[in-house]
Amino acid sequence: MNLGTICFMLAKHPEAYEKLYIEVYSAAIQTTGDIQQLPYLSGVVRESTRMSLTNPCRLPREITAKGWNFQGSYYPPRTTVSCSAYEMHFLHQIFPEPHAFRPERWAAASSDMHKVMMPFGLGTRQCIARTMAMYQMHLALYELVRADCFRGARPAKQRIEISETFNAKVIGGAIDIVW
């Protein structure tokens, strides 16, 4: 879903792809670790991850036996509380024009931007593979750009529509790109 969204966004925004292509081709990459240091490529991965809603549903947590006081409200033991990536990733106070694809917003990311990002969940039950998944996305994108895959590409549809389950289900079953 995340890689599909990256491909969709680059096909939809050729100006972003051009910028990324120039960065990738002018970089002196010695090790795979260097790829994660490419600022625009990293911005493309982060921005796509913000918008892709791979797990769009709420991630519930149960209040422990002590109960919980939070911002003037008391939550009794065993209350279920939750929030979702959909709520957090599109907060317009933190991501102005939240539905716009802007990899450059990550160049000077505020601490609030990092704080509200939860593509892999948050806390003790967050995804155990988040570092590996982010690493793989950087590598995959780097190779796709090296092969100039997005030259002349455009998305078959203007939007990605999903239905909400734990794992997003793309309506129509595919994110299609045409050349």
Residue nearest ligand HEM by beta-carbon distance: 121
Give the nearest distance from C-beta 127 to ligand HEM in angstroms. Answer: 3
Which is closer to ligand HEM, CB of 19 or CB of 58?
58
Residue environment code for 139-175, b if the CB has 16+ CB neighbours within 10 A, otherwise e: eebbebbeeebbeebebeeeebebeeeeebeeeeeeb
Contacts of 149 (CB under 8 A, 6+ apart): 7
Q: Which amino acid is at 22?
A: I
Give the nearest distance from C-beta 18 to ligand HEM in angstroms. Answer: 26
Give the nearest distance from C-beta 72 to ligand HEM in angstroms. Answer: 25
Give the nearest distance from C-beta 168 to ligand HEM in angstroms. Answer: 9
State which H helix or E strand residue 136 sits in: helix 130-146
Count, residues in the chain: 179
Residues that bind ligand HEM (CB under 6 A): 2, 54-55, 59, 119-122, 125-129, 133
Check: CB of residue 61 under 8 Å from CB of residue 34: no
Which is closer to ligand HEM, CB of 154 or CB of 167?
167
Which is closer to ligand HEM, CB of 5 or CB of 103?
5
Give the nearest distance from C-beta 26 to ligand HEM in angstroms. Answer: 28
Strand extents, DSSP E, 14-153: 61-62, 68-70, 73-75, 80-81
Q: Whole-angstrom Cα distance, residue 5 to residue 8?
A: 5
Which is closer to ligand HEM, CB of 27 or CB of 83?
83
Which is closer to ligand HEM, CB of 21 or CB of 49?
49
